[in-house]
Structure 1
Amino acid sequence: MIHVRWILTAVAVVAIAACASDSIGSPQGGGSLVLRLTTPHGDDGALTFELSGPSISTVSAPDASLRLFTRRLDESTVVGVVVGALANGALATLRVQEVSTVSSYSARVLEVADREDGLRASLSGYALSVTR
């Protein structure tokens, strides 16, 4: 358990060092989309994800109960870590240049840990979707 906690701490430190704030870039118009989580568990505490789509301007936490750390891989791909009491629903808010291209965005879960810092052995039942 302690080892997993150190791994998650290291990931968070790298993510913080890689970005100046919780957001990426600056919005240039367009609108907002929502990254939504579907989880089979009620005690998720951290999740890493990869988000892809055209011209993602910013990614931010939907509210103060979650901490979001992101790193841009390129103009259309962002990797993020969300920490907090995760549940079904909004995981992040995206600012994009064109909300009508919502179907062009995709996201996948990379890893999940429970609130006791234990990595989930299986990602079965987890899903991410991007909606308006």
Structure 2
Amino acid sequence: MASIRITSYGTGHHDTPTADDPVVVDTTALHNPPDDPAVRATLTQLTGRHPDVVAYVMATPGAAQLLDTTRRAVERRIADGEQHVDVHVHCYGGRHRSVALAGLLTTALTTPGHHVQVSHRHIDRPVLPSRTTT
């Protein structure tokens, strides 16, 4: 049985998880609730576990392709004989984009023959000030 460990985190917290040769997923190009005045008040207080946040993040053009590309990369490693695959999914704050994608990836990879664990390293941390604000 293949073991898959998915970790979401925020690079803005400066404590990146460690692993040997993880699959690294950068979600910073996806829609970010704190950066959008139209949804900031409602979605920022939620996390990427909430269906409204997941829908918002995944509405970004290319989001579904990022999810699929990552799923295929993990499956390819398992097909090549790896018994344990670490996946590091990051955004800036670790509460919205990375959590949403990590959750969807967990669902996509949870199949017979795969043991999937997910942890959200920074989900309970305060929302960080936006990097895009000057």
TM-score by length of 2: 0.26
Greater relative contact order (CA < 8 Å, ≥ 6 in sequence):
2
More strand by share: 1
Q: Which has the higher helix share?
A: 2
